[in-house]
């Protein structure tokens, strides 16, 4: 017999009609102008300790890969996948509770850590991140909700003098990169204390400013994406030697690795039981 009942079950649906729940001002601001500054909740001594660990990790990274080799490929200001270095603090910074609250509200459903890079805006030098860009580069779509967010953890204070981040408010809602005149009239430079996160819609145009002081201005940039966007570096593979919780593994994308074959895909479905 043909079942002529109207189908009412659905799959792949995460949001139905319901009252808005968010009261977090950072969430509202991210939706409207595309950026917000939030406090990590770390104490002053934790913030200083993170700065020291960043410096040690940076030295180790540069001696592993070679300063001149990194400089020759415009990579000397960046510590790629900093959480894969030996210090466990960087995974904790990526999973900070205040940050998670905001990202959870803005990316509906699952998301993963796509990138975590240490960055240094050097004193009085050309900086690799000083050109306007989006963190999903080469993309020109507008989406009704973010597919990705990024968050710059401020290792040092971000000031006007040391080249604090510039943003173009609401540019996540425009497909095209705007004219020079528009940038001159509308760019905003963000001052933020060490220990803050500058959270951005990944489609917002932004860049670092010129650091006119004698000290480096350091940050840790995170990109959180829906799992369909591939990671910059295979974090499950790079972190496979670590003892990780179920939650940490999910966050790092262990559940979203590409199956090597049809058989691998089917056995993955069997494990998920659907
Ligand atoms: O240093 C900054 O303010 C911007 C960093 C940046 O643009 C990036 O990491 O992609």
Q: What is the mean pLDDT of residues 110-139?
A: 95
Q: What percent of the chain has pLDDT over 90?
A: 84
- What does the pLDDT look like over 174-229, one tens digit per residue? 999 999 999 999 999 999 999 999 999 999 999 999 999 999 999 999 999 999 99
Task: Take atom 4 of ligand 1 and give the residue whose Cα is closest.
Answer: 208
85 lines ligand 1 (CB under 6 A): no
- Is 45 within a domain? yes
Task: Take atom 9 of ligand 1 and give the residue whose Cα is closest.
Answer: 221
d(CA 105, CA 231): 21
Residue 118: CATH number of its domain: 2.60.120.620
Q: Does residue 251 contact residue 95 with C-beta atoms inside 8 Å? A: yes
Looking at the structure of the chain, the number of domains it has is 1
3-class SS of residue 20: coil
Q: Can you give the pLDDT at residue 128?
A: 85
d(CA 169, CA 167): 6
Residue with tokens 């040092």: 156
- Is 233 within a domain? no
Distance 260 CA to ligand 1 centre (A): 35
Answer yes or no: is pLDDT of 272 > 80. Answer: no
Closest to 162 in 3D by CA, of 185, 195, 130? 130
Q: What is the mean pLDDT of residues 233-251?
A: 96
Angle among Cα 115, 116, 117 to the nearest 5 degrees reads: 115
Task: Take atom 1 of ligand 1 and give the residue whose Cα is closest.
Answer: 208
Q: Does residue 100 contact residue 41 with C-beta atoms inside 8 Å? A: no
208 lines ligand 1 (CB under 6 A): yes
3-class SS of residue 254: helix
Give the strands of the sheet with 166-167, arranged side by side: 188-189, 166-167, 206-207
d(CA 29, CA 33): 6
Answer yes or no: is pLDDT of 170 > 90. Answer: yes
Q: Can you give the pLDDT at residue 15?
A: 74
Region at 130 (left for phi over 0; alpha for psi -120 to 50; beta for the rest): alpha
Distance 246 CA to ligand 1 centre (A): 30
- Is 74 within a domain? yes
- Is 88 within a domain? yes
**Residue range of the domain that includes 117:** 25-227
- 217 CA: nearest ligand 1 atom: 1
- Is 199 within a domain? yes
d(CA 223, CA 133): 14
State the average pLDDT for the chain.
Answer: 93
207 lines ligand 1 (CB under 6 A): yes
- Is 17 within a domain? no
- Is 89 within a domain? yes
Give the list of residues 6+ apart from residue 238 with CB closer than 8 angstroms, or none.
81, 84
- What does the pLDDT look like over 1-59, one tens digit per residue? 556 788 777 778 787 655 555 568 999 899 999 999 999 999 999 999 999 999 999 99
- Is 274 within a domain? no
- 206 CA: nearest ligand 1 atom: 7
């Amino acid at each position: 017999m043909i079942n002529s009942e109207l189908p009412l079950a659905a799959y792949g649906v995460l949001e139905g009609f319901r009252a808005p729940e968010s009261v977090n001002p950072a969430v509202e601001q991210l939706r409207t102008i595309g950026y917000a500054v939030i406090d990590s909740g770390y104490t002053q001594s934790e913030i200083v300790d993170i700065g020291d660990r960043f410096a040690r990790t940076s030295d180790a990274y540069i001696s592993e890969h070679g300063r001149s080799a990194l400089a020759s490929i415009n990579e000397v200001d960046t510590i790629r996948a900093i959480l894969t270095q030996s210090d466990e603090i960087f995974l904790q910074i990526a999973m900070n509770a205040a940050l998670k609250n905001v990202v959870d509200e803005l990316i509906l459903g699952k998301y993963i850590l796509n990138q975590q890079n240490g960055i240094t805006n050097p004193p009085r030098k050309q900086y690799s991140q000083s050109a306007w860009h989006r963190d999903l580069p080469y993309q020109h779509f507008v989406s009704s909700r973010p597919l990705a967010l990024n968050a710059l953890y401020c290792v040092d204070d971000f000031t006007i003098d040391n080249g604090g981040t510039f943003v173009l408010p609401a540019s996540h809602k425009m497909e095209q990169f705007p004219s020079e005149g528009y940038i001159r009239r509308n760019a905003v430079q963000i001052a933020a204390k060490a220990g803050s996160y500058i959270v951005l819609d990944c489609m917002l145009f932004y860049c670092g400013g010129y650091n006119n002081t004698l000290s480096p201005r350091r940050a840790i940039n995170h990109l959180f994406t829906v799992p369909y966007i591939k990671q910059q570096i295979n974090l499950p593979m790079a972190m496979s030697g670590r003892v990780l919780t179920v939650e940490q593994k999910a966050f790092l994308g262990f559940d979203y690795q590409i199956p090597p074959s049809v058989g691998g895909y089917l056995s993955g479905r069997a494990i998920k039981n659907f």
